[in-house]
Amino acid sequence: MRFATFSEIDLDNRTFEIRRFAASTRLKDSLARFGILDPPWLQQKGAQYIAVDGFQRLGWAKENGAKGAVCRIFGQDCDIREVWSRRIEKKIFESGINLAEKAQIMSVLIVAFQSQEIPSFFLSGMNVSNRPDVPAKWALLSAGGTETLEMLASGAIAERAALEVAEWDERSRDSLLSVLKALKCSASIQVEIVEHIREIAVREQKSGADIIEAPRSREILMSGDLNHRQKTQALRTLLAELRYPRLSSRQNQFRRDLEALGLPSGIRIIPPPAFEGNNWEMELSFNGPEELRKIVHSARSIVESDRLDAIWRWDRRPGSPLPSAAARQKQDENKTTSNEG
């Protein structure tokens, strides 16, 4: 420990900097009240020192007219891996780190250590999987530059979603991270959006950015009439339609069929998940026996007619009339004859 003057410190050397990319008002308030409580760390480099930890504290002291600061000094012969290990351990266990800091730390670790040599307590301290591909994904995010790191530091990007797009091309990665930041949706919904975009892009042999920046997507994202929740739902609906066109067509036809049936407001018909299987449900909502009797009475004519049978069939073009029971029977007979032939 010794007092180092700013004439001895090269503050432009940022070798050991791990930027937070987010304003720390707590640190500024503490410095304003008490000054530097935790001595910065320096390492000797020739006749000067470079900062290892405490970049903001040193900057604050210099801006406020101090001649220097009491610092902890690492000798010039101290191994860089040892310095980095102490720096990272202090960073991890001192306070919560954001995704931008995590990406920078992981990029340092895979350079300073072989993947199998990365200290396990670093990974557990950051809740990072020890799978071989994970550190490389974090390093790719770190290499994305300031814009990517600022989005990660915002707190609006879910970790799993960030890792899912780490290997995307730069344009697609930054476009999607920007969208997720604006939508402010939950981690699970972010992953859903990412997976749908990736799968659509693979099928159509396009980039993720092509899907995000397509006219229909942009219309949703740029809408001035929708809030972020409404935009999120509209985008999810669009992506589901693009990802599963047949299922979306079936869902739309089902909604049209229900509207054509004119069921009472207290009745809901619920199809099986993805319309797969034969277990359908009917839900009744009522506030007493009298209302229940009215609902059942008004629905009886629909249930007893062949109009209800039609919603189980969807091999019809949109807008075509619901087939009658007789027509359905004829279609089934034709299919049976064809199969037997």
Gap between the Cα atoms of 104 and 148, Å rounded: 12
Contact 154, 22 (CB under 8 A): yes
pLDDT of residue 297: 82
- In order, the DSSP letters of 177-189 are HHHHHHHT--HHH
Model pLDDT for residues 56-91, shown as the tens digit of each residue: 999 999 999 999 999 999 999 999 999 999 999 999
pLDDT of residue 317: 43
Q: What's the gap between Cα 229 and its chain centre?
A: 15
Structure tokens belonging to residue 33: 């009240």
Reduce the DSSP state of residue 53 to 3 states and report it: strand
Cα–Cα distance list, 96 to 20, 92, 133 (Å):
11, 7, 24
For the domain made up of 1-78, give the CATH fold: 3.90.1530
Domain ranges of the chain: 1-78, 80-155, 170-243, 249-340
- In order, the DSSP letters of 154-206 are TS-S-HHHHHHTTTS-HHHHHHHHHHHHHHT--HHHHHHHHHHHHHHHHHHT-
- In order, the DSSP letters of 13-36 are --TT-----S--HHHHHHHHHH--
Contacts of 14 (CB under 8 A, 6+ apart): 51, 55
Q: What is the mean pLDDT of each run of 10 residues along the chain (341 residues)?
A: 96 94 85 94 95 95 95 94 93 88 94 82 88 89 93 94 95 95 95 96 95 95 95 94 83 80 81 80 86 83 74 54 42 43 40
